[in-house]
Amino acid sequence: METLIILVFALGYLAITLEHNLKLDKLIPALGMMAALWALVSFGIDAFPNWFDSSGHKLVEGFAGFASEEKHHLLEETLLHHLGKTAEILFFLLGAMTIVEIIDYFDGFATFKSYIKTKSKKKLLWIFAFLAFILSAIIDNLTATIVLITILQKIIKDRNTRLYFAGMIIIAANAGGAWSPIGDVTTTMLWIGKKVSAGKLVEFLIVPSLICMMVPTLIATFLKPFKGNIEVEENEGKPVDSYGARMLYIGLGAIVFVPFFKTFTHLPPYVGMMLSLSVVGAFAEMYSRSSFTISHPIDEEGDNSEGHHSPVHLALSKIEMPSVLFFFGILMAVAALESLGLLFIGAESLKTVIPDTDIVVMLLGVASAVVDNVPLVAASMGMFNEPMDHHLWHFVAYSAGTGGSMLIIGSAAGVVAMGMEKIDFFWYFKNIAWLAAIGFVVGAIAFFGMRMIL
């Protein structure tokens, strides 16, 4: 049964990568794979020898001897656990995407556009790379990618050029998320799990992460897509919303507020994001009512019988729900493999075959490009018993955070960018993956150097 489950996952994964060849939206195989995997787990649960306790990051002792009713009860609890954890990520994502759309409703990103005066593609590349690196450490790599690609769409109209910029944003955002305890889901896991402290994580990883971002960006400046200048369209005559800049600062400030809310309340990040969304939504409704007669006299997409349309409703209608559901399918499918202990056992086997922990952790980083990095980090937390702030945990944070950049579906930032820009899997693999791989390797070398110094 385990072989069949792995085969279904492999076929589903292949269908996702061949999305354009099959002319089948990646959402369909992702959801189908997820449902099929959990159905197979349910049918064969009595025969499985192992079960992974995700909350405890270890295999359940004596699972093979459990009665059938106990196993099915554990299955339901595990499924509910993974649904809850996945929902936390999805609602966080929905909140962040809605805030971004509300800012866009007021044309707030035109403020950023007005600050960026250069037409040089090389200069723009460095600007976006550093913005992604810094923002991802503050508001996490997922939200930073959403914000920056939205800005990118306002500045660069040529889609082919924009795809290259989006690919480099993914690399920079994942590198920036690796050195911050709130920059990536995996670093947050290690931080909450008391494997790393915020101070030591920044101390050990900020330089390797910076190098991981800068080297690919430097190489990219010599590539054809980043030579020359961008084509700037003439002013389209669209009036700038008087509340645009104000909503931009309120929106981004609300997103930045989320990690502070989490620190003070110890509640999951999505709770703070919902609070931020409510505040931004309140300001949006207030400003839209006071300015509708000037900036939004007619709403082509909704009922305007009362003189104005809710910016929150309009923002929600523009969210890429297929991307959200695809993300749900991928996370829940990987959770099925994790629940059977397949990822944990595979990681343990790797540790036995390759005693060098540095190589094991690097391989985990490469694997995070193929399989979601969250269960891989969870497996590593069960594999190793090193104390808090041991260099191994910092290397796990680096590898899991940056390794996912090597494939478009290897990170949350990549999945979101894939949905927002409809990036083809093989296009990314051909044009961006090798840059991400170079960044991953040179950053790892820099980490080894930092480890010897500190």
pLDDT in tens, 220-251: 999 998 988 887 655 544 445 568 888 888 98
Where in the sequence is the domain holding 301, given as residue range(s)? 87-320
Domain boundary among 269, 290, 320: 320
| pLDDT score recorded for residue 295 | 43
23 and 110 part of one domain: no
Domain boundary among 294, 320, 346: 320
Give the predicted TM-score (pTM) of the model.
0.75
Q: Is 414 helix (H, G, I), strand (E, B) or coil?
A: helix
296 and 435 part of one domain: no
Establish how many alpha carbons lie within 13 A of residue 370's alpha carbon, considering only the half-sphere containing its beta carbon: 10
350 and 289 part of one domain: no
291 and 327 part of one domain: no
314 and 328 part of one domain: no
Query: pLDDT digits over 77-92, tens only?
Result: 999 998 998 888 788 8
Amino acid (1-letter code) at residue 54: S
| pLDDT score recorded for residue 302 | 45
303 and 337 part of one domain: no
170 and 298 part of one domain: yes
Domain boundary among 320, 350, 373: 320
Q: Is the dihedral of CA 31, 33, 38, 39 positive or negative?
A: positive
Task: Count CB atoms within 10 A of the CB of residue 8.
Answer: 18
In the chain, which stretches have pLDDT less than 50?
Answer: 236-239, 292-307
236 and 338 part of one domain: no
300 and 385 part of one domain: no
Query: pLDDT digits over 28-60, tens only?
Result: 998 999 999 999 999 988 888 888 887 776 788
Distances in Å between the Cα of 16 and the Cα atoms of 235, 329, 428, 431 are 40, 11, 14, 18
Number of domains in the chain: 2
126 and 22 part of one domain: no
282 and 171 part of one domain: yes
303 and 331 part of one domain: no
Q: Which residues on neighbouring strands pair with residue 120, listed in sequence order? A: 229
